[in-house]
Amino acid sequence: MVFGLLRRSKNGAIREPSASNRNNVESALALGKRAIDDLNNRLRVLEERMKECVAEAKEKYAKNDKAGALGALRRKKLYEEEASRVTSSIMTLETQNITLEGAQMQQIALSALSTGAAAHKKFQECMATNDVDVLMDQLEEQRETQMEIYDAMTQGVSLPTEFEDELDALMQEEFDKDAALEESLKDIAAEVTADQLLQEKEPKAAVKAPQIQKPVAEASTPAPIAQ
């Protein structure tokens, strides 16, 4: 069924799968998924029964029923073998579904590629190499003609130069003013710096001259009174 998807037409182009093939693929995928679900349910039942067998074996062994415990373990072994077969079947079905889905996607991709290649081929047939060369030559000729028209329209048209000398003079005047202003600023900065240096060299506070204390006049001794 997978190989039936790769259908080719008489000229070798890959075609899309027919409606019957698509229906067959969808039916196969649905049947496989349903079978996987049923097997998963069966696997869960087997796991529950294995747990029950283990619990039964422990219970009978606790009651000294060794034969009953061994019988429960034998049934557990059978359930394990059945669970292993179910797991293998699930893996096989999943592999088949994955392969079938991949083949379906490949068929769709190949069909799209084939359609694109056929369309490209028809497009190339409608436009031969010589036609392309002629078209490119025409475009180049039109471009050159347009440039000639542009040159003719702009010939003799130039920027006015009668005011260039006046503009240069104005710019030179502004430049001279800026240079003079810069020199003045430099001179002012130099004078300020010199004043600051002189102020730093002078003493911060004038030293007071020492005051000379005048001698206190001695008190005159009174003359002795004549007796």
- Tens-place pLDDT, residues 96-132: 999 988 888 888 888 888 888 888 888 777 776 777 7
| Tokens encoding 108 | 């769709």
Predicted pLDDT of residue 161: 61
Query: 54-58, 115-119, 147-151, 166-170: which range is least confident on average?
Result: 166-170
pLDDT, one tens digit per residue, over 17-38 is 667 777 888 888 999 999 999 9
pTM: 0.46
The mean of the pLDDT values for the chain is: 79
Split at pLDDT 50, 70, 90, the class of 188 is: confident
Predicted pLDDT of residue 70: 93
Nearest Cα neighbor of 75 from 58, 56, 59, 91 is: 56
3-state per-residue secondary structure call for the chain: CCHHHCCECCCCCECCCCHHHHHHHHHHHHHHHHHHHHHHHHHHHHHHHHHHHHHHHHHHHHCCCHHHHHHHHHHHHHHHHHHHHHHHHHHHHHHHHHHHHHHHHHHHHHHHHHHHHHHHHHHHHHCCHHHHHHHHHHHHHHHHHHHHHHHHHHCCCCCCCCCHHHHHHHHHHHHHHHHHHHHHHHHHHHHHHHHHHHHHHCCCCCCCCCCCCCCCCCCCCCCCCCC
